[in-house]
Amino acid sequence: MSIVWNDKGFQLNGTQFQLITNLHDLFALKDQEGLVLGKPRDLIETYLDLFSDFSAPRIFELGIFRGGSTAFFNELLRPEKLVAIDFMEDARPGFKNYLDTGANAASVRPYFQVDQADKQRLDEIYTSEFGSAPLDLVVDDASHMLEQTRISFNFLFPKLRPGGFYIIEDWSWAHVYDPGKIFDKNFGGQPPMSNLIIEIMLASAYHQRLIPELRIYPTYAIVRKGDAETGPGFDIAKQCFVRGTCVGGGDLFG
């Protein structure tokens, strides 16, 4: 791996990535300047540290948008296969160019017009691409909606191998300072994503072999899967208790 930081962001294995400093950059940055990653530098540095000695032959990513994240994980981890889904109809121009020219792009399997809450479609894609082989890494940077993200988590978390990571980005939109009402406009009336993070946190206390490690940052959370069996019909909401009472599955802030 070869990473070189520059004024736009960084180059990784010769591919230029643009970092963002605010949400406006997600739409304003030009593809000609490099793939738009949609992440700040501190998150990238966390990933560089987390994956410094981590092997991830099989990756499932939720949320493609402008393609920078998919290309980043693909170049950083050099997986055998990286499946990525998005609700959009097609790839953006910069990502299309990467798929045609990227150093390791042949390992990427993008799927568009896929709802992350469509469990049947997720199952079809997973089975078609991986059979029954366990995943090493799942990254959710998709809808940022509570119920949709819960459904994806309940389906994909059991597919992880012991020691694999499940990462949920942008969970804290309901709690950040938002003077421009950007999050309110996009998520107004929706239950906070933090409900799921709290469920995972409580589950890690109740069932430590299921989730032996949980790292919560201001905008993202990293969940390491343990060696406990999840069984059919896994539901994280049924794994979190307060004084013996299950408190998951709803909206703690409702």
Tell whether the model's pLDDT for residue 233 goes beyond 80: yes
| Domain residue ranges in the chain | 37-246
On average, the pLDDT of the chain sits at 94
- For the ranges 65-74, 179-188, 192-201, the lowest mean pLDDT is seen at 179-188
Helix, coil or strand: residue 120? helix
Q: Please say whether the dihedral angle defined by the alpha carbons of residues 130, 89, 140 and 229, taken in this order, is positive or negative.
A: negative
Query: What is residue 22's predicted lDDT score, i.e. its pLDDT?
Result: 80
Residue 254's pLDDT band, with cuts at 50, 70 and 90, is confident
> Which 8-state DSSP code applies to residue 144?
-
What's the distance, CA 107 to chain centroid? 18
Length of the chain: 254
Residue 179's pLDDT band, with cuts at 50, 70 and 90, is confident
Q: How far apart are CA 246 and CA 237, in angstroms?
A: 8
Query: What is residue 97's predicted lDDT score, i.e. its pLDDT?
Result: 94
Residue 148's pLDDT band, with cuts at 50, 70 and 90, is very high
Query: What is residue 1's predicted lDDT score, i.e. its pLDDT?
Result: 67
Sort strands 9-12 and 3-5 into parallel, antiparallel or unpaired.
antiparallel
Going by C-beta distance under 8 Å and a sequence separation of 6 or more, which residues neighbour residue 137?
54, 56, 58, 59, 60, 73, 77, 160, 164, 165, 166, 167
Q: Residue 250: how many CB atoms within 10 A of its CB?
A: 12
Q: Which fold has domain 37-246?
A: Rossmann fold (3.40.50)
Encode pLDDT of 12-30 as tens digits. 999 999 998 888 888 889 9
Encode pLDDT of 89-133 as tens digits. 999 999 999 999 888 899 999 999 999 999 999 999 999 999 999
Per the structure block, which two tokens stand in for 78? 């050099």
Encode pLDDT of 38-59 as tens digits. 899 999 999 999 999 999 999 9
Helix, coil or strand: residue 203? helix
pTM score, two decimals? 0.96
Q: How far apart are CA 136 and CA 225, in angstroms?
A: 10
